[in-house]
Structure 1
Amino acid sequence: MTRPIIGRVAPERWRTNGATAPGQRTVGEPGTARIAVDLLGGDQAPAVVVDGALRAAQADPSLHLTLVGPAEAADAVLAALDPPDRQRITTVVTTAGTVRGAAHAVAEGRADALVSAGDTGATVLSAARELGRWPGVRRPALAAVLPTAAGRLVLLDVGSSVDPDEEALLVHARLGSAYASIVFDLKNPRVGLLTIGSEPGKGDRLRRSAPALFASRPLPSGARYVGLVEGGDVVLGTAADVVVTDGFTGNVLLKGLEAGYALTGPPKPGTTLPPRAAVLLGVGGTVVVCHGAATGSDLAAGIAYAADLHRRASVAAIADLLRYSEVSHD
């Protein structure tokens, strides 16, 4: 069973700050964004999710929220909003399967994107079942943006696929290259494979066998494989623009760096930290996953991130770049 990718628009209608179709110019109109929010996702849910949803709704008058969860949690958001703003809130009352309910709202066209701070595995599974996967993507990847001394870097996977093989890592390299190209307008992104040393042959079996595959297959947007990189290269950002690893290692690295940045600030003084959230690449819609320990501010930033990705048609543009036009529910 296949169907078109949600959010697909004609190239001339892309609202993106990233790559454009030949001869087209970008349009920066805000537009409405309808975000389905999993009210029971997160260590401190639903209170922290209610806080985040309220902050997001108050900050963005063009934002519409579909709150999926217990009635009392949704009512707490409604009660805190002015009457005119309550019209931008829709509720789906349930106490079980909230993340799948939110994904279903996107699949049915009642929402444009999904945000959850719940269990990563449940979120990925719900997104894959409800929205489908892109052809050839057996394991969708969570891509996070990290600040570096040189600017910013895309790290993936950060928690979705903890035990990938070489082919899965290559697919993730393609997804990350397309994401960097479309969202950040990076020309010829440099792709590195994370391991314990930059010399050839460093690392476990997977890290020793994957480089030959990376070097032999083309990557989108003129991206090029630049070899093995270490953890320090992720902080410096001078060796690669996209760093690929398994979800276990990526999640450990991400949480360690975020804790460090919270204490000392970003590697480049004066820069703003990206949202503590990751986009799920390889499924047929816009899905943003926040940390289980997310604060209300983190949830609000994740919702804003999902709204921005939708408004710029980023997921559809990435799919177009990779020549994916449909998703599969097999």
Structure 2
Amino acid sequence: MTRSDRSPHGGRLPSGVARIAVDLLGGDGAPAVVVDGALRACSADPDLHLVLVGPQQSAGEVVGALAVGDRERVSVIAVDSVIGMADSPLRNIRRETTVRTAAEAVYTGRADAMVSAGSSGAAVAASAHVLGRLRGVRRPGLAAQLPTERGPVLLLDVGVTLDATMLELVQHAVLGTAFASVGLGIARPRVGLLSIGSEPGKGDRLRRAVSIALSDIPLPAGGHYVGLVEGFDVPRGGPADVVVTDGFTGNILLKGIEGAFTASRGGSKISEVYGTRPHEAAVLLGVAGDVVVCHGSAGGAEVADGIALAARLHRDRITPAVAGIADDLLTELSSAGGLTIRDALGERS
């Protein structure tokens, strides 16, 4: 397989029709950058069909820019309302908005996957509400793939679980392990927990308890817990293929890495390590459908990258594979209800 045969996220390009619902009003530069990304994606993938969700005029720009023979690859669902970055996702989840309508397109079978560069909270809330969560999943998590000189590193969560519980972090380790196996092709994924040091016992009570729990749980797909990892282990790769943390810390770390890369472009050691910028599209793990969330500041190229990732999720049936691998353990963890920090640390009242 040559380099040109592969997508930016791994796997062959392209194989079979993929219908992707695209939120035209999602992102800081929407709709212009999303229109640009949609056109780039169509040009790169002849088997791609787009369901554009947004204002008729913006969708018309995409259709009008395509060759006459390609226009049948695009359909439009006209919606003018959006959940803004400052809006409450939960209070607005039942409104007819672009992100909710995109999720409904997947749910009804009109689309195979969805992409949004808008509010990540809105995308997560809409996806969980409309598509539902995988059995046993407490809260979904956003997983970002970071290219490093030692292979890809999957970082999750990067924005959903700002106040993550012990159960949620353990479940994300399970989901991340399954995705690394089927989505990244990593045999026996190594799982690490982000903390302030790699020595056993480092970190707050939550991190210490999760570390003990992960040491006792047989992770799926031959995955195994390697212990605590530090922030610098993530961009350079090495100790772990999957790094688990809460969404607050993960989002800060991811944006710090992206900022360092942007500031260094042109030949610094960071550029040499990556060779390519960190992917600005994250997979939402834990929902019953294929959902990709792009960075709010994504440009056209990054939106196109997110659409390509969504198409690959569908074509390779990655979400059903993750569900099949992780289902039993996720359900067992959820039903046990005994994952408490106090018990893990051996504390007594």
* TM bucket normalised to smaller: 0.7 to 0.9
Distance 1:315 1:113 in 2: 10
Say whether 1:305 aligns with 2:290: no
Note the 1:126-141 alignment, pairs <5 A. Answer: 126-141=126-141
Which amino acid in the other structure matches residue 25 of structure 2?
L
SS for the counterpart of 1:193 is strand
Aligned residue for 1:91, secondary structure, equals strand
Map of 1:213 onto structure 2: 213
Distance of 2:14 and 2:74 partners within structure 1: 22
- CA distances 1:230-268 after superposition (whole Å, capped 9, x unpaired): 011112211111000000110111111112223335565
Matched-pair contact (CA < 8 Å) for 1:178–1:321:
yes
Q: Which amino acid aligns with 1:300?
A: A
Give a deviation string over 1:108-146, Cα, whole Å, max 9, x none: 000000000010111001001111101111110100111
Partner of 2:335: none
Name the counterpart of 2:194: 194
TM-score when normalising by structure 1: 0.87
Give, in angstroms, the shift of residue 27 of structure 1.
9.2
Identity of aligned residues (%): 56
Question: What is the distance in 2 between the residues matched to 1:248 and 1:93?
Answer: 34
Which amino acid counterpart does residue 49 of structure 1 have in structure 2?
V
Task: Report the Cα offset of residue 320 of structure 1.
Answer: 1.4
Kept in 1: contact 2:146–2:279 (CA 8 A): no
Give me the whole-angstrom Cα distance separating, in 2, the residues matched to 1:197 and 1:38. 40
Instruction: Report SS of the residue matched to 1:218.
Output: coil
Residue 246 in 1 paired to residue 246 in 2?
Answer: yes
Alpha-carbon separation, structure 2, partners of 1:162 and 1:155:
15
SS at match of 1:114: strand
Q: Could you tell me how far apart the structure 2 residues matched to 1:167 and 1:236 are?
A: 28
What's the offset of the Cα at 1:312? 0.9
* Range that drifts further, 32-41 or 250-259: 250-259
SS at the partner of 1:34? strand
Within 2, Cα distance between the matches of 1:30 and 1:219?
31
Which residue of 267, 292, 302 corresponds with 2:296? 292
Are the counterparts in 1 of residues 195 and 230 from structure 2 also a CA contact under 8 Å?
A: yes
The amino acid of 1:89's aligned partner reads: V
1:148, CA displacement in angstroms? 2.0
1:323 aligned onto 2:327: yes
User: Could you tell me which residue of structure 2 aligns to residue 5 of structure 1?
Assistant: none
How many angstroms apart in 2 are the aligned matches of 1:273 and 1:258? 7
Pairs within 5 Å for 1:1-330? 30-96=15-81, 97-264=97-264, 268-269=272-273, 271-273=275-277, 275-323=279-327
Distance 2:76 2:30 in 1: 16
1:39–1:49 Cα contact (<8 Å) kept: yes
Instruction: Quote the RMSD (CA, aligned, Å).
Output: 2.0
Q: What is the CA-CA distance between 1:211 and the residue it aligns to?
A: 1.0
Paired with 1:188 and 1:257, the residues of 2 have a C-alpha distance of 26
Of the two structures, which has the highest relative contact order with CA contacts closer than 8 Å and spacing of 6 or more?
1
* CA distance in 2 between partners of 1:258 and 1:28 (Å): 26
Which consecutive residues of structure 2, in runs of 5 or more, have no partner in the other structure?
Answer: 1-5, 82-96, 332-349
Name the CA distance, whole Å, in 2 between partners of 1:91 and 1:313: 25
Counterpart residue type for residue 212 of structure 2: A
The 1-side partners of 2:14 and 2:152 are apart by 25
Distance 2:209 2:171 in 1: 15
Q: Which position in structure 1 is the counterpart of 2:88?
A: none
Q: Does the 8 A contact of 2:21 with 2:115 survive in 1?
A: yes
Letter in 2 for 1:197: G
Structure 2 distance, partners of 1:215, 1:80, is 54
**Pairwise CA distance, 1:58:** 1.7
Instruction: Give the conservation status (yes or no) of the 8 Å contact 1:41–1:116.
Output: yes
Is the CA contact 1:149–1:267 (under 8 Å) kept in the aligned structure 2? no
Q: Distance in 1 between matches of 2:165 and 2:12?
A: 39
The one-character-per-residue Cα deviations of 1:155-191 (angstroms, maximum 9, x if unpaired) are 0001111111111000000000000000122111111
Q: Do 2:236 and 2:273's aligned partners in 1 also have CA atoms closer than 8 Å?
A: no
SS at match of 2:122: helix
Cα displacement (A) at 1:212:
1.2
Paired letter, 1:313: R
Contact kept, 8 Å, 2:258 with 2:277, in 1: the verdict is no
| Cα distance between partner residues in 1 of 2:272 and 2:314 | 28
Distance 1:167 1:252, change over 3 A: same
Contact map agreement 1:193 1:227 (CA 8 A) in 2? yes
User: How many residue pairs end up in the alignment?
Assistant: 302
